[in-house]
Chains A and B, each alone.
Chain A
């Protein structure tokens, strides 16, 4: 239900919201409503680019505590008004867009670091804190969350929890879900609940995991306790160039099967090696596939792990050693690509076909997606790198790019073209053993594939949603729920 400004119901609800969070923190001005109508999803960006109106919320509220969040949700339930939780708005899936108007609940006022526990090595924080601010906060005490995503400057910790996000050091330190000790959540009906204080137990199913990845559809995560780690004594990188992508993938998979514990591994396909490595890292290394990895921790152990890893790369797979400089340049420039001037940008149409699979399927997924995109959209480029590596497989960060001249000016037609690419590529990924997706989430963009992905287990997700959110006020229209 959207509430136009000139209705008395708008004023009624506004009055109640002011009572809940304070007049300073209920915004209904055009700038605020506009500010929450575009996130990092290409479709609303393109819509705005074409001069079309983006869908705006009726109210933007900034609660300062879980109690205030609970009050807002109770009001929303009373009047059956949609509530969309908004962290940094940096999600690429349209998850934070208020597609049916209503209330945007911006979490950024809940931005405090509440406690750093140096005995258990944990930090407790409110979830509206921007990840960079949290990291700086723990750095000051000599620790790190080890959660270093490219959107560290703009995304909130709550956003990462809601999307099961990940950072560049995920291979050793894990995704956000591996870092969580406990959560405080305000359920859609306005109950403030806590999960058990530790994440490993045998006291029934894990409530933490139910809320992680729920993208604001099952409530608002208001507080989190995360693990923290001492700053490592050393972090060293090394890069190799392989004759082709298949050889590099085999070398990377072998590195993971060796059970050495790299903190990061990245592999760029031949096309990205030619473009990205040169443009962003400033290395002109010729043709082939670029693989970089690193280790961190105690220096002596790091050196030993590096020695074993080099053996795999050089002896078994004949990789060309680009030295530590070849790896350091990657680390130093790891976020550079995301700045305008490097990043893809409208008028281009582009998207990240984030897919994860085990080593037995990952190459198949890559080739199947590439073929599907190339055949159906010969005007598009398909590139990819492999970002987050596990003992069993890795994440394919594939991208399609249309140059501006190949994208219709008409917003509706452009959206249709864009959606067709996803249809073709994602269905191909699922058919070949891939899972959409590894860390970007589902949102508005991929909700329509959830039934294909979950098959006959999807009704379980629907039942959970219904039980927790009987009035369907929390982020309706997202995740296919």
Chain B
């Protein structure tokens, strides 16, 4: 079984309480089951008795994890509860046990074209994935900055890196999408691929690597690209609250570039809520969480809103278009992405 590779984490996490306070879903459902400890204990039961994998309620719980990886980032020994849940999802899928809602999303993902449509010219390729496309102002903001910088760039639109399929446990389908996506990008000859979406960034860096897919251009998140861009931002961003991205911080330890960019924009970054450890991303790590568990996502957004100093006036900055979408939909917080903030500071 795939979970066998995570035996160490299963055995460590099953009786461990040390990251309970960071259970993004557990903190809004209050369910003990929505914590690393109980998920690991359930999966330990599966290692003893494989038939337990078929328990519909366990399966539902495994698909209710927000996969923020806040636990792994916090853990002094970096036990990988996140990896364990992803492996369990693969086992569920391979055993033909994926529930109807998961199959529905997978079907939709499988039906999309993996190869994006590429237009324009230049070494830089800006990739607008479907999630980022839903926040139209993101691409407009990037375009404004690039025009000011006088840089020509290409745009890739649509396509599918396989991230959603990977997260839901459809490893083979995901690898197929990744291969096709990479083929199209590699053919373009671009040197740098810029993505505004941290989930795509993680897919290109870690997901592709784990299924042996080679991507020729260097993949960077928009914050890294903009932080290094030689351009003057004349307006100061002022006081902002920055909500970390699961994929940038917890998955890739990338705390540096968003902060460098904020510094470049003259932002005074205030701490949001009471701490910098909890994930406030509304389930970014679980990628299609808004489709799979909309009621939980709504609660997560309200949880974030309740932690703002001044919910209706604070300037909240996020790295991820997904998080912006969820917070804008379910709360009165005023949210913009790093790119949008940068464009406003021109």
Report whether chain A binds chain B.
yes
**A346 close to B (CB within 8 Å):** yes
Of residues 138 through 196 on chain B, the ones whose CB sits less than 8 Å from some CB of chain A are none
Q: A11-19, A29-37, A65-73, A430-438: which one contacts chain B?
A: A29-37
State in angstroms the CA–CA spacing of A29 and B58 once bound together: 9
Query: In whole Å, how far is A445's beta carbon from the nearest beta carbon of chain B?
Result: 16
Whether A89 pairs with B79 at a CB distance below 8 angstroms is no
A27 contacts B by Cβ under 8 Å? yes
Of A134-142, A227-235, A291-299, A471-479, the one contacting chain B is: A134-142
* A432 CB → nearest B CB, Å: 32
Taking A35-B32, A136-B275 as contacts, is the C-beta distance between A30 and B15 under 8 angstroms?
no
Interface range on chain A: under 10, 10 to 19, 20 to 34, or 35 or more?
35 or more
**Proximity bits, A138-152, B CB within 8 Å = 1, else 0:** 011000000000011
With A106-B32, A339-B77, A341-B12 known as contacts, the answer to whether A130 contacts B275 (CB < 8 A) is no
Chain A neighbourhood of B210, CB < 8 A: none
Contacts of A34 in B (CB 8 A): 33, 38, 41-42
A residues less than 8 Å from B61 (CB atoms): 31
CB neighbours (8 Å) of A48 from chain B are 14, 41, 44-45
B275–A153 touching, CB < 8 Å? no
- Give per-residue flags for B56-95: 1 if the beta carbon is below 8 A from chain A beta carbons, else 0: 0110110000000000000111010000000000000000
**Which residue of B13, B49, B275 has the most chain A CB atoms within 10 A of its CB atom?**
B275
Pair A32/B12 contact, Cβ less than 8 Å? no
Q: From the candidates A29, A40, A153, A342, name the one contacting B21 in the complex (CB within 8 A).
A: A153
Tell me if B308 counts as interface (CB < 8 A to partner A).
no
Pick the residue among A90, A128, A336, A345 that contacts B76 (CB under 8 A).
A336
- Which of A30, A45, A139, A346 sits near B57, CB closer than 8 Å? A30
CA distance A27 to B42 in the complex (A): 17
Whether B15 contacts A345 by the Cβ 8 Å rule is yes
The answer, yes or no, to whether A266 is at the interface (CB within 8 Å) is no
User: When chains A and B are docked, how far (Å) is the Cα of A89 from the Cα of B35?
Assistant: 12
* Docked pose: A196 CA to B249 CA in angstroms: 47
Contact with B along A64-90 (1 / 0, CB 8 A): 000000000000000000000010111
Taking the complex as formed, is B18 at the interface, i.e. its CB lies under 8 A from any CB of chain A? yes
Residues of A within 8 A of B76 (CB): 336, 339, 341-342
Within 8 Å of chain B (Cβ to Cβ): is A108?
A: yes
Looking at the complex, which one of B15, B31, B48, B77 makes contact with A32 (CB distance below 8 Å)?
B31
When distances are taken between beta carbons in the complex, the residues of chain B under 8 Å from A422 are none
Chain B interface residue number, banded: 35 or more
Interface pair A62/B30, CB less than 8 Å apart: yes
Tell me the nearest residue of chain B to A53, going by C-beta: B45
Q: What does the 1/0 interface line of A313-345 toward B look like (CB < 8 Å)? A: 000000000000000000000011011111001
Question: Contact between A340 and B57 (Cβ–Cβ < 8 Å)?
Answer: no
Give the residues in chain B near A60, CB-CB below 8 Å.
Answer: 31-32
Instruction: Flag if B60 contacts A154 (CB, 8 Å).
Output: no
B81 CB to nearest A CB, Å: 11
**A90 CA to B42 CA, complexed, in Å:** 17
Among A36, A132, A152, A342, chain B packs the most CB atoms within 10 A around the CB of A132
- What residues of B have a CB within 8 angstroms of the CB of A88 in the complex? 17, 20
Give the CA-CA distance A89 to B30 in the complex, in Å: 12
B19: CB under 8 A from chain A?
yes
Bound CA span A152–B18, Å: 8
How many angstroms between the C-alpha atoms of A242 and B192 in the bound complex? 61
B234 CB within 8 Å of chain A = no
Contact A130 B21 (CB under 8 A): yes
Check A204 for interface membership: any CB of B closer than 8 A: no
Residue of B nearest to A346 (CB): B15
Contact A130 B38 (CB under 8 A): no
Contact B49 A30 (CB under 8 A): no
For residue B22, which residues in chain A have a CB less than 8 angstroms away from its CB?
153
Interface string of B1-15 (1 = CB under 8 A from A): 000000000011111
A-B contact count (CB 8 A): 107
Assembled-state Cα–Cα distance A111/B30 (Å): 10
Which of chain B's residues have a CB closer than 8 A to the CB of A341?
12, 76-77, 79
Query: Using an 8 Å CB-CB cutoff, how does the interface string of A434-463 with B read, 1 for contact, 0 for none?
Result: 000000000000000000000000000000
Q: How far is the CB of A310 from chain B (nearest CB, A)?
A: 31
Shortest distance in angstroms between B44's beta carbon and chain A's nearest beta carbon? 7
Partner of A108 from B16, B19, B30, B42 at Cβ < 8 Å = B30
- B19–A38 CB distance below 8 A: no
With beta carbons under 8 angstroms apart, the residue of B13, B17, B33 that contacts A31 is B33
Q: Give Cα A335 to B76, complex, Å.
A: 10
| Contact A30:B12 (CB < 8 A) given known A153-B17, A153-B20 | no
Contacts of A32 in B (CB 8 A): 31-33
- B15–A140 touching, CB < 8 Å: no
What CA separation (Å) do A13 and B58 show in the bound complex?
A: 24
A88–B38 Cα distance when bound, in Å, is 12
Instruction: Assess the B31–A35 pair: CB atoms within 8 A.
Output: yes
Residue A133 CB within 8 A of the other chain: yes
Do B38 and A136 have beta carbons less than 8 Å apart? no
Which of chain B's residues have a CB closer than 8 A to the CB of A205?
A: none
Contact B21 A154 (CB under 8 A): yes
The distance from the CB of A71 to the nearest CB of chain B, in whole angstroms, is 17
Cβ of B55 under 8 Å from chain A: yes
Query: Which residue of the partner chain A has the closest CB to B28?
Result: A109
Question: Chain B residues near A27 (CB, 8 Å)?
Answer: 31
Closest B residue to A50 by CB, please name it.
B48
Q: Is B51 an interface residue (CB 8 A)?
A: no
A108 proximity list for chain B (CB < 8 A): 30
Q: In the complex, which of the residues B11, B21, B38, B45 contacts A132, with contact meaning CB atoms closer than 8 Å?
A: B21
- Cross-chain contact of A154 among B11, B18, B275 (Cβ < 8 A): B18
Report the minimum CB–CB distance from B345 to chain A (whole Å): 28
> Which residues between 1 and 43 of chain A lie within 8 Å of chain B, taking CB atoms?
25, 27, 29-32, 34-36, 38, 40
> Within 8 Å of chain A (Cβ to Cβ): is B313?
no
Contact pick for A339, options B30, B44, B49, B75, CB 8 Å:
B75
Does B274 sit within 8 A of A, measured CB to CB?
yes
Please tell me if the beta carbons of B32 and A153 are within 8 angstroms of each other in the complex. Answer: no
**A151 contacts across to B, CB distance below 8 A:** 17
A150 — nearest CB in chain B belongs to which residue? B18
Q: Which listed residue (A90, A137, A336, A346) contacts B17, Cβ 8 A?
A: A90
Asked whether, in the complex, the Cβ of B58 is within 8 Å of the Cβ of A30, the reply is yes
**Contact between A133 and B41 (Cβ–Cβ < 8 Å)?**
no
Distance between Cα atoms of A47 and B35 in the complex (Å): 20
Would you list which residues of chain B between 21 and 53 have a CB under 8 Å from chain A? 21-22, 30-33, 35, 38, 41-42, 44-45, 48-49
On whether A40 and B30 interact (CB within 8 A), knowing A88-B20, A136-B274, the answer reads no
Which residues of A are interface residues toward B (Cβ below 8 A)?
25, 27, 29-32, 34-36, 38, 40, 45, 48-49, 51, 60, 62, 86, 88-90, 106, 108-109, 111, 128, 130, 132-133, 136-137, 139-140, 151-155, 335-336, 338-342, 345-346
Residue ranges of B at the interface with A (Cβ–Cβ < 8 Å): 11-22, 30-33, 35, 38, 41-42, 44-45, 48-49, 55, 57-58, 60-61, 75-77, 79, 274-275
Please give me the 3 A-B residue pairs with the lowest Cβ-Cβ distance, nearest first: A35-B32, A340-B12, A154-B17
A–B pairs, 16, beta carbons within 8 Å = A34-B38, A48-B44, A48-B45, A62-B31, A89-B32, A137-B274, A153-B20, A155-B17, A339-B75, A340-B11, A340-B13, A341-B76, A341-B79, A345-B11, A345-B12, A346-B15
